[in-house]
Amino acid sequence: MTLRLERLSTALQTSGLDAIVLNPGPTLTYLTGLHFHLMERPVVLFVAREQAPALVLPELELPKVTDLPITPFPYGENPADWHTAFRGVVQALGLNGKRIGMEPRQLRVLEFEYVRAAAPDAEFHDASSALAALRMRKDSAEVQKMRQAVQIAEAAFEATVPLLRIGMTEKEVAAELMVQLLRHGSQAELPFSPIVSAGPNSANPHASPTDRRLRAGDLLVIDWGASFDGYVSDLTRTLAIGEVQEEYVAIHSIVQEANAAGRAAARPNMPCAEVDRAARAVIESAGYGAFFIHRTGHGLGLEAHEEPYIRSDNLQLLDVGMAFTVEPGIYLPNRNGVRIEDNVVITPTGAETLSSLPREIRVVG
């Protein structure tokens, strides 16, 4: 925790910020190891330069911070008194009139209004880039947790596939997969609800499972992940339900090649855009470029979607420890879709693919 907070202090100086405020979420957990639920009672971490961190929290949560180098500012059950704790922190850290960073995507209006009322003369700035830079480069312990999350996800998938039958609904497949994820060791809080989409539904990259039943001739896209000690995996495989049209077998092969090309392009000092282009070029050369309708990937770690983003306009250079997905796809509207997704991490000499499930088309049902 100390090292990460020291790195944050350096980031604050570089970005010209005097402090950062965080509510419960991945970044607060990353910096402190603490877990809090988002609820009606606000919890806010204040980290100011060269001062001990301070935490506004309900009295009932105090045991969580007893042994940590964090100054608690607890409050009771009466909401009319909660502002006192926020004013106490701002005064103790001297933050009124200072430049305070925050995460717009994470900080709720609830917490922001308490902070702003306590520091009415402060300037508030988006600190997303500075905070993302802290979390992007995973150390060996983080990578090992992600590797474990991948192994859990793969074991759950392999336990689910033999159960698939024509006539099952997408929801039934998703339910079975979620049970297997828990049985094989995933934390109960999954990184996201599994995507299970068959036939025409598989042409929608972010489809939700429905009551549609699996039919012979369908392609079945399953996009799922597991959580292990806070770190996540995010995988996709596409199966054939019985015998499918030759074109569907062909586009599966194209996507498989694109996936391999994207993973092969990943290495230190390579722009994210080049990984996207490597995967996209395969699909475009096969004549299906118009049907690859999303970026090639996104970062992974404490969240299923974080920096870096593997898209065609992102010139950020990949560095050792950066972890992300490679997930090209082809989506034929109202017909069928294919996506193959793997998790990779940049190493000093290239990229390690953490996932190992077969990528070839598999016939089930």
Query: What are the tens digits of pLDDT across the range 20-31?
Result: 999 999 999 999
C-alpha distances in Å from residue 133, one per residue of 172, 266, 271: 40, 19, 16
Phi then psi for residue 340, to 5 deg, are -130, 120
Query: What are the tens digits of pLDDT across the range 178-212?
Result: 999 999 999 999 999 999 999 999 999 999 999 99
Enter the pTM of the model. Answer: 0.94
CATH superfamily, region 2-135:
Creatinase/prolidase N-terminal domain (3.40.350.10)
Q: Where are the domains of the chain?
A: 2-135, 137-364
Determine the pLDDT at residue 171: 98
- Other Cβ atoms closer than 10 A to 216: 11
pLDDT greater than 80 at residue 168: yes
- What whole-number distance in Å separates Cα of residue 350 and Cα of residue 264? 8
Determine the pLDDT at residue 1: 65
**Percent of the chain residues past pLDDT 90, beyond the cut:** 95
Q: Do domains 2-135 and 137-364 have the same CATH topology?
A: no
Residues β-bridged to residue 351: 346
Determine the pLDDT at residue 231: 98
Say if residues 43 and 61 touch (Cβ distance below 8 Å): yes
CATH class, 137-364 region: alpha beta
Contacts of 93 (CB under 8 A, 6+ apart): 19, 46, 48, 51, 54
Query: What are the tens digits of pLDDT across the range 295-335?
Result: 999 999 999 999 999 999 999 999 999 999 999 999 999 99
Determine the pLDDT at residue 235: 98
Query: What are the tens digits of pLDDT across the range 42-100?
Result: 999 999 998 999 999 999 999 999 888 999 999 999 999 999 999 999 999 999 999 99
Phi then psi for residue 190, to 5 deg, are -70, 155
